[in-house]
Amino acid sequence: MKHQDDLFRFLSIPGVSAQAEHAADCERVADFLVDKLRSLGFRATKHLTDIHPIVTAHSPHIEGAPTVLIYGHYDVMPVDPIAEWHSDPFCPEIRDGRIYARGASDDKGEIMCHILGAQEVIEEDGALPLNVTYLFEGEEERGSASLSAFIKTPEAQRELACDIIVVSDTGMAAPDIPSFSYGLKGLCCFELKISGPSMDLHSGIFGGAVANPITTLCEMIASTHDADNRVTVEGFYEGVSEIADWERASWARVPGASDAELAALTGVPELRTERGYTGTECAYARPTLELNGISGGYEGEGSKTVIPTHAIAKMSCRLVPGQNPIDIMKKVEAHFRRVCPPSVRMEYTMQHAGDAYLADPHSPFGKAAQKAQELTFGNPPVLVREGGSIPIVAEMSHILGKDALFLGLDLPDARIHSPNENMRVEIFEKGITMVKHMLRLMAQVKP
């Protein structure tokens, strides 16, 4: 395989960002990137942070040419459960046309496509036709704290000034059907605690006399949705735009995205969507309120007849453009205060939050990227939005004032975050070709 040496050296360094014993390895991955980019003539810098380094690199400046900022993360997820791997996660191996290693797809393989694409353009044409800035962080899998602080500094904002942001850290529909993603959901997380008696009570002596905190919590949670599976929190849908006709048409083309296929994939008897929307439409573009965990009372073996002191629900909302996560958390709190009966006490805690994000897929840079995908894969991309959230990219896009486009190469069977993570050799090679087309086509866009 072409470029195997570069890719395998990169994949061999175990930069697991969440585990302290790998801190020196994260530093080594950053050093590897700096050395590689300097060898291509980039001005590369390793920025030390409180946790893991950030790497930036700039191609020789061309006055008047557009600047593309390519973001990725060099850190990887832990490898557990290690016994389920068929080969050492940090000794990359090719079997049956796939490269197996932690990070093979997410996100080292994708980063490498971007670096090697630029390398091949330099080799073929003598130089890049536009300005390329790389921004690689080592904390994406643990929350991007250092990068979030970094991009708030004026120096970083000057350094990262660009015309368009490109990210390859998302999915791709099928090996011959590229995905062009132009939206991310926002997120907010919160916790609701309902307290009743000051001690667990005998359910015979006190049953029927005091409110049961678990029952009350369940009633309050049940009040957040109506029979159409719409969220009943007042003002929840304020500012939410309707899905455009072209979006509906495009999403219907996404392989495996019909309601029947989603039901089969998830193992449910049938989907339960918001009335009037398909499962895919809900996942891409409708805001949701979910219960993530619930606890309270006796959960051990056998039975124990008590009225518990309290019950807790962990909840989150996935949000769409037009919704402010802090505002939504306040609206949800107001809803719970309104429905909370006087027989219990309520505590509500706001946790972390991130904005949703939407770019214009039909911008000149968006069209250039889609053309690059079509030239590489033989089919035009499906235009999709991500159900997931990458808060750092939304933040970066807001701060830098530029769109971010997502050209993901993670196939559904790439097993990212799981044992036996892989990337097909074919996708790795096409990823490099896609980047070459992209750089050459974006060079022709007037900034």
Nearer to Zn ion, 15 or 196 (CB): 15
Q: How far is the CB of 25 from Zn ion (least distance, A)?
A: 17
Nearer to Zn ion, 169 or 355 (CB): 169
Binding site for Zn ion (CB under 5 A): 106-107, 169
- Residue from 3, 34, 10, 1 nearest 105 by CA: 10
Nearer to Zn ion, 75 or 403 (CB): 75
Beta strands in 278-418 (DSSP E): 288-296, 306-307, 310-319, 345-354, 357-358, 382-384, 404-406
Q: How far is the CB of 105 from Zn ion (least distance, A)?
A: 8
Q: How far is the CB of 133 from Zn ion (least distance, A)?
A: 19
Nearer to Zn ion, 231 or 392 (CB): 392
Nearer to Zn ion, 107 or 395 (CB): 107
Nearer to Zn ion, 398 or 417 (CB): 417
Nearer to Zn ion, 85 or 406 (CB): 406
Q: How far is the CB of 120 from Zn ion (least distance, A)?
A: 24
Task: State whether residue 112 is helix, strand or coil.
Answer: helix
Q: How far is the CB of 206 from Zn ion (least distance, A)?
A: 51
Q: H or E stretch including 150?
A: helix 145-150
Q: How far is the CB of 177 from Zn ion (least distance, A)?
A: 21
Q: How far is the CB of 409 from Zn ion (least distance, A)?
A: 11
Beta strands in 122-257 (DSSP E): 131-137, 164-167, 179-181, 183-184, 186-195, 201-202
Sign of the dihedral defined by the CA atoms of residues 390, 394, 400, 406, in that order:
positive
Beta strands in 227-327 (DSSP E): 288-296, 306-307, 310-319
Nearer to Zn ion, 107 or 247 (CB): 107
Q: How far is the CB of 408 from Zn ion (least distance, A)?
A: 10
Nearer to Zn ion, 169 or 395 (CB): 169
- Annotate 293-329 with b (16+ C-beta within 10 A) or e (fewer): eeebeeeeeeeeebbbbbbbbbbbbbbbbebbbeebb
How many residues are recorded in the chain? 447
Helices (H) and strands (E) in the chain, counts: 13, 19
Beta strands in 138-270 (DSSP E): 164-167, 179-181, 183-184, 186-195, 201-202
- Return d(Cα 241, Cα 445) in angstroms, integer: 29
Q: Which residue do the tokens 């015979």 mark?
A: 204
Strands 186-195 and 288-296: unpaired
Q: How far is the CB of 335 from Zn ion (least distance, A)?
A: 34
Sign of the dihedral defined by the CA atoms of residues 398, 400, 401, 407, in that order:
negative
Q: Which two tokens stand for residue 319?
A: 């949000």
